[in-house]
Structure 1
Amino acid sequence: MTRIIAGVAGGTPLISVPGTVTRPTTDRVKEALFSRLESMDALAGAHVLDLFAGSGSLGVESASRGAASVELVEYDGGAAGVCQRNAAIINDILGRKVVTVQRSKVESFLGRVRDTGVDRWDLVFIDPPYPLGEAAVTAALAALAPDLAPEAVIVLERSTRSPEPAWPAAVERFAEKKYGETRLWFAEPADGD
């Protein structure tokens, strides 16, 4: 069972995407990830973008922990429907609309990201399906870069069998962590100096 781990909605169960359309982030990985993000002060008041959202659990967890706004982007119809339902759960608990859902391919969304009303993203989760090629991951990072806040944090989740992505010039990795079969890369906008 997927659940919100902490924050105002801690312990609330979430709806999972049936079948094998998505690969949910385990509670162990999610707990470690959010502990790190909170220690970096990357959540409170943040504008969060969750690309390849699956069930939306990372974005919903962010809302529970104090994010100002969360945009879930998912193309698969079934998964996008689950995102809508999970967004409704957290929005009801919060008493306001913090989490919204875009049913869109990531490339299309990034081409029109300014339509969301968010000037810059403070925190971005990128958790693509493992079969997605590295060139597509790098293209998504490059397309995202102009819309990042100066102190933004990007979290890229991939299989430990996937190679490190080729980071575009506008983005630089600052850390990585392995949890079983999952590897998280942490990146930020490159210093323009």
Structure 2
Amino acid sequence: MRIITGIYKGRRFDVPRSFKARPTTDFAKENIFNVLNKYVDFEDSMALDLFAGTGSISLELLSRGCREVVSVEKDRDHAHFILQCLEKINATNDTLICGDVFRFLKSNKKLFNVVFADPPYTLNNIVDLPDLILTGKTLAPDGLFVLEHGKHNNFETHPMFIEHRSYGSVNFSLFR
């Protein structure tokens, strides 16, 4: 796993083979961040990475200058790996929460400019995530929600849907 661009550009982290999480491929990550650049000024943004997995998206957000990133990951081993990566780059502006995403969203009091969610593609309630994020108290006005999902999900009829991108088997739906 590597950081594509920004202040930590080129840094690599070896994800343990035992991990269940599938990090977003470098190809997909680079391309979706190129798209996001037209919607988001990352510098000074508050970002939320849900289902953080290996921390790949959190690290990319930090590298691109986000003022603060909150990473939520339920699996303790994955959270520990993310913490090690954050320590390697001396990041002090990431808050790592080892816990359930849905519990976090219920108790969250912060507004984020960017919310990125990369849930397991087989998550039963993946179709509920856009409404949960967009109608809750999570996304700032004019904020952007990015949902990574499998090819079997289609969110184009959602009233706040703005764009879909596909990179191989990786799909992203963007909402505002």
TM-score by length of 1: 0.83
Instruction: Identify if the C-alpha distance between structure 1 residues 175 and 151 changes in structure 2 by more than 3 Å, giving closer, same or farther.
Output: same
1:111 aligns with 2:102: no
Matching residue of 1:191: none
The CA deviation at 1:153 is: 0.7
Q: Could you say which residue in structure 2 is the equivalent of 1:6?
A: 5
Tell me by how many angstroms 1:17 deviates: 4.5
Which position in structure 2 is the counterpart of 1:101?
Answer: 96
- Amino acid of the residue matched to residue 22 of structure 1? A
Deviations 1:94-119 (A, max 9, x none): 5xx111210011111111112xxxx3
Counterpart in the other structure of 2:164: 176
CA distance in 2, matches of 1:7, 1:121: 20
Contact 1:106/1:140 (CA < 8 Å) preserved in 2?
A: no
Unmatched segments (≥5 aa) in structure 2: none
Matched ranges for 1:155-174 at <5 A: 155-160=146-151, 162-165=152-155, 172-174=160-162
Q: Which residue of 1 aligns with 2:47?
A: 48
Instruction: Give the TM-score normalised by structure 2.
Output: 0.90
Q: Deviations over 1:116-148 (max 9, x none)?
A: xxx311001110011112xx2233333323221
Q: 1:143 and 2:102 equivalent?
A: no
Which range is displaced more, 179-188 or 14-23? Answer: 14-23
- Supply the AA of the counterpart residue of 1:187: F
Unpaired segments ≥5 residues, structure 1: 189-193
Q: 1:121 aligns with which of 112, 117, 128?
A: 112
Q: CA deviation at 1:32?
A: 0.6
Structure 1: 4+ residue segments shifted above 4 A? 165-168
Paired residues in the alignment total: 174
What is the aligned-residue RMSD (CA, Å)? 1.9
**Cα distance in 1 between the residues matched to 2:27 and 2:12:** 16
Name the CA distance, whole Å, in 1 between partners of 2:128 and 2:16. Answer: 26
What percent identity do the matched residue pairs reach? 29
